A and B are shown apart, each in its own frame.
Chain A
């Protein structure tokens, strides 16, 4: 079983202290999660607690004429029914960047499933029955569903009178944000092109489909405040939005992170946080809210569906001349993260390629479709699907190998992005492509490999027994992508870490306290590793994330290991300096090295960089506890110019390449992905096992977008047609192939330990690689994801 616990090749191993960075240490929460004891936000229970329930709009766009709650209030077991009228302060909206989202609908609903009223009752069924008795009189309004209907001269405005900081520069009030980028002279460069390829591409609305539903418990406190136990990606961002609506100072809204059952961007916006607090404060009782899967599809934002128009030119010898593109993202009814999605889509629209002459425009729309916002790789995922399709078409036009064509145009360190920002750390795009291409291909017809009997489990259609090999054609496809790491465009992206070092029971123990949301990614594992490496201790306690410590920023944008990891490292270094100061005070007379040498903490001791032991940490510290809380920020960025898109907007880039091998039942249009190999540069793998887990997980979400995942919205009514796990399908273990991972570690000298954010990049290139493979197998153009059997069979 040598390969069961394998670590990936090419990874550097080892700090001096066991369990430090570079080792595949195990998750501190692993045992609790494997025994069922780990407390997720839906598992919490409180004596005397009530259940909260949300009444949602059945219409995508309607005027609310009246709401009658009298009958609901009379039902036995009901403690409160709240509507807009019950909101306690003048702050009635919230939002990540633009506060345009009503806590409860007022006069108008703008999307299917918008919250209209709340109920608190002694049992979930009581709450449901009471909610059914709330009489809401709606008058349906025409829906705005796409660019044409949103920007028509007489289009209903989603947010009339908006005065947010994007409203001044957009060309229509139903456009949330618009980012053009112009660099070089695309028109002039176009004349040098021997071939020009243009196309229109479309990406469907993907759902994060995290398994742990939106949920939490709000407990009213004696001081008039509230304690909220919650699953989120960013406690302090929630807090900033919750407190003003409740009319409470932030210190009276104490938030603690509960177990989070996945996030993938879907918990960046608020869901039931304010609602549970309102009900708890109104009733004076703890209130638990748990969405079921149906409600969850309405309870969080989704990935922006997109239409992308691209034109590329190339010379006969395979050099790209220019690129023009226009990307239209559907943001739905409320802004959420749309502005940042526009920023990413536009600034990364060229992909990991060298193109000096570009004309780019990206916009996000306000429509009556479900609100869209953050999902793993946002903006970049949509663009990658389109530009990688273009690369394959160009290669075909030029009769070049698609991988060689990409390598010929691949960016590298020093390449200047369309934003004018040079890439100032390794960008091994050609090398990643070389690596995935060099991996051995999986054997043909594996369904026959068992010997005498064909195994439908290895065939397209799987257990459904649709083919025994008939119509099955293999295809291979490649793709590579680029994703920014961290919050961009001038955002003050910082984190805070409190680190304490003391002697407990004769042993030095470090305690790390951050507000980082552990959503499954393994940040808690890495924090302990960093503390061990920096402080030379074995025992590390990770405190629960809460708002008693400063903000850690969001668990998104592939940023937590970089930024909160960086903050933990920074605080540990400061603690170490204090330790060494104490040591010097106490012991410098005993050994000259205290004054002259570079000193480290390793294995519970103070040692010189030459390895000489100077003192036991225990003796240095004695009864002292060193306790520091410090903020740490990465290099500043700046906004993109609103007209030219120029600006040093990004902190770091992340690159991954995929090779997909698929088998397509060309007659039925069913796809089996046989293998999905990935090569990714991670800068430095702090925990190789977790790194590979992130890459495989991201790859699989990309596979889902390629062949099955889409929230289907009725174009006439803007209503969601498949809000369930019966009809919104995510890959099962039988849909997911082996995912060999080749990890490259080229340090980014600007980042802690040289690391690179890794969570999102594998989600980008997975989708276009799978579709490229399907195209190769079928000869079809396939300009839309997810690819459906109808697209393959022409039905």
Chain B
């Protein structure tokens, strides 16, 4: 095993080009587990800790450019207003120690369906900025996940940043685990209201081979809100609409039975989370949101 320590982004790209099998390591919270348990013996480890720009973020007019290695703790602390869904998701990641090291780039690189950031990124709308010595490209988040723990990166590419739409409305994130902290998602649900475009977006984690959006549910809800004039009136969303939205969300799942939960439970839990997050976001949109720890931080 070789340990590569590029001092700059350019050096990192050059190293990755020279050694396409090199495994990038930033927070180490996925890679080191695999090494410690002898699940993986990469030829090269490509340390990205010395590339300072990866830990930086920029808040622009429409987007936040979030460096791939910005730790979850800093997202929680600094980007609650701009990225409320991702900030909430960040808060559910593992433990404080892990949140101090891990970042969104790692979640994207590993592309595990259980990664906590994915539903929030899918719901908010994002593009992944990837680069190689060949150049830079922007991959829409919807096209990023290509299979179980597989993504759209080429062998010589590295994730540099994620460009996430700044929230124009309330966002929520909810995750089911069988412990009250430090738990991997049995399944997770992210919801973002986009009043500017009168759309809603969703993201579901751990309930399909990849993180997915519940497009039918999104379209149904957007139509129902539009047709009922709810965006203008701010009236309560009827329970029947919420119920159907939730059922459509569950319909987008293709879960498996595993040691963390049954497929049936996952579908059921997505239904419940979809309905609840809709309630929380809509209440907040109407301005009636009972301040909870969660949506207070979103406000």
Contacts and interface: CB of A to CB of B under 8 A. Distances in A.
A445 interface: no
A370 B291 CA distance: 49
A471 B279 CA distance: 13
Contacts of A712: 259
B263 to A, nearest CB: 9
Interface string B227-267: 00000000000000000000000000000000111101101
Contacts of B186: 789
Nearest to B116: A464
Contacts of A667: 272
CB-CB nearest 9 A-B residue pairs: A462-B180, A795-B265, A734-B181, A795-B264, A464-B175, A734-B180, A454-B292, A721-B259, A795-B268
A463 B268 contact: no
Contact of A735 (B38, B180, B293): B180
A793 interface: yes
Contacts of B52: none
A112 B95 CA distance: 31
A467 interface: yes
Contacts of B273: 466, 668
A788 interface: yes
Interface string A459-474: 0111111111011000
A460 B180 CA distance: 7
Interface in A709-733: 712, 721-722, 724, 726-727, 729, 731-733
A467 B276 contact: yes
B178 A708 contact: yes
Given A464-B183, A470-B276, A727-B259, A453 B296 contact: yes
B134 interface: no
A456 interface: yes
Contact of B272 (A456, A465, A668, A727): A668
Nearest to B271: A667
B69 interface: no
Nearest to A714: B259
Contact of A463 (B91, B264, B272, B292): B91
Nearest to B178: A708
A463 B177 CA distance: 10
A128 interface: yes
Contacts of B179: 462, 708, 729, 731-732, 735
16 contacts: A294-B37, A455-B293, A461-B180, A463-B92, A464-B176, A465-B92, A465-B174, A468-B294, A668-B269, A707-B178, A722-B259, A731-B179, A732-B181, A734-B180, A790-B262, A793-B265
B176 A726 contact: no
A206 B172 CA distance: 35
A465 B297 CA distance: 12
Interface string A148-162: 000000000000000
A664 to B, nearest CB: 13
B88 interface: yes
Nearest to B262: A790
A456 B292 contact: yes
A793 B292 contact: no
Contacts of A726: 184
Contacts of A461: 174, 176-177, 180
Interface of A is mostly: loop
A724 B183 CA distance: 12
A178 B48 CA distance: 61
A306 B181 CA distance: 29
A90 interface: no
A128 B182 contact: no
B293 A454 contact: yes
A790 B265 contact: yes
Contacts of B174: 461, 464-466
Contact of A453 (B37, B176, B264, B292): B292
Interface string B171-208: 01111111111111110000000000000000000000
A452 interface: yes
Interface in A425-476: 452-457, 460-468, 470-471
Contacts of A453: 291-293, 296
A513 to B, nearest CB: 39
B280 interface: yes
Interface string A260-302: 0000000000000000000000000000000010100000000
Interface string A677-711: 00000000000000000000000000000011000
Contacts of B293: 453-457
Contact of B181 (A128, A463, A721): A463
Interface residues of A, number: 44
Nearest to B294: A465
Given A454-B293, A465-B92, A790 B181 contact: no
Interface string A514-527: 00000000000000
Given A453-B293, A453-B296, A670 B260 contact: no
Contact of A454 (B260, B267, B290): B290
Interface of A: 128, 292, 294, 452-457, 460-468, 470-471, 667-670, 672, 707-708, 712, 721-722, 724, 726-727, 729, 731-735, 788-790, 793, 795
B277 to A, nearest CB: 9
Given A453-B293, A464-B183, 4 more contacts: A668-B272, A672-B180, A789-B269, A793-B269
B36 interface: yes
A336 B281 CA distance: 56
B110 to A, nearest CB: 14
A774 to B, nearest CB: 13
Contact of A468 (B38, B175, B268, B280): B280
Contacts of B267: 795
A723 B46 CA distance: 29
Nearest to B89: A465
Nearest to B273: A466
A89 B182 CA distance: 48
Contacts of B280: 468
A789 B178 CA distance: 7
Contact of B177 (A457, A464, A722, A731): A464
A788 B179 CA distance: 11
A471 B174 CA distance: 15
Contacts of B37: 292, 294, 724
B180 A463 contact: yes
B291 A452 contact: yes
A717 to B, nearest CB: 13
A789 B260 contact: no
Nearest to B263: A795
Contacts of A464: 92, 174-177, 180, 183, 185
Contacts of A733: 181
A462 B181 contact: yes
A727 B177 contact: no
A457 B92 CA distance: 11
A789 B176 contact: yes
Contacts of A465: 88, 91-92, 172-175, 294
Contact of A793 (B173, B181, B268, B294): B268
B175 A466 contact: yes
Contacts of B294: 456, 465, 468
Contacts of A669: 265
Nearest to A455: B293
A292 B36 contact: yes
Interface string B4-42: 000000000000000000000000000000001110000
Contacts of A707: 178
B22 to A, nearest CB: 19
A456 B88 CA distance: 12
A457 B290 CA distance: 16
B102 to A, nearest CB: 14
A452 B269 CA distance: 28
B183 A729 contact: yes
Contacts of B91: 463, 465
Contacts of A455: 292-293
Nearest to A293: B37
Contacts of B178: 670, 707-708, 729, 788-789
